[in-house]
Structure 1
Amino acid sequence: MKPKDRHELREKESKPIVEAFYQWIEACWVNTLPQSLLGKALTYAQNQKKYLLAFLADGRIELSNNRAERSIKPFVIGRKNWLFCNTPGGAKSSAAIYSLIQTAIENGLNPQAYLEYVFKQIQQHSDIGVEKLLPWAEEIPVNCKMLVKKS
């Protein structure tokens, strides 16, 4: 779904729900002690209002951070393996390569094909600009892109 369409849908369907929720919060303040568990929850919700409402203003904002958490999960799991890097330089190099791979995946690229392309370009053109090698660059060839199944 395009961000513009998502924004319109949120205005139509989500905004009334969020407005009703915050009206309910206002109504609850009358009979709620501030230090009670409900009072703390209401205060928290009120303090986070601008962050919650941000998704209504911009259709590009995702409703959860699940995608970001999924992309770092292998990093967290792999941490134990990195304990065995012999030097800080080796650990730094491993982290840099891992970062390149994850960024390629997040940009819809096949990491192996992408890295092969990047290394060949660096080897053949020592003066190539880094912006032409970034995963989102228009110069990245089609054979580096993963086929994404539409559901």
Structure 2
Amino acid sequence: MTSRIIRLTVGQLSLTFGMFWLVMSLTVAVDRHVFAGAAVAGGGLVLLLWRRIRLPVRPVVTGSVVFGVAGTVVGLVVRTVSTGGMFGWSESRGWPFGWLSRGGLADTPDGAHRRAMAGGWGTDLARLAADVTVWAYAGLVLICLLGLVVRAQKAHRTPERAE
């Protein structure tokens, strides 16, 4: 009973937050914001409809965790570099959130770049947690959709008995 209440609460909060995120990203349609909002809203919907979906819990949860970690690691390929001020240079990695970053300030652009390289990488744990969560929600949605498609194909192939 307690796990059902937690699932429903997390599902409703996720659906609400994801839909709010999607609505807010309509003004500036950045692909990372649309992806994150859709993944969180979709994951919340899956959690709310879990009893109707009737998929095995362990494979879905395992797949979601693997998808969350794999998506976060693959997201490191995305690199964002920005310069600004008098003079600043910053680089971040991660998608949809840049959680690995380095930066530097100096009197010249080259000096700022050198300081950033010398300073090394820093990890933003809040963005890392958000990144893993969004990817896990995306995995949850994809695994459930795949499970429902496979179930529908099996039902379609099984001949019905005529009585």
Q: TM-score, normalised by structure 1?
A: 0.27
* Structure possessing the higher relative contact order (Cα contacts under 8 Å, 6 or more residues apart): 2
Larger of the two Rg values belongs to structure: 1
Higher strand share: 2
TM-score (norm 2): 0.25
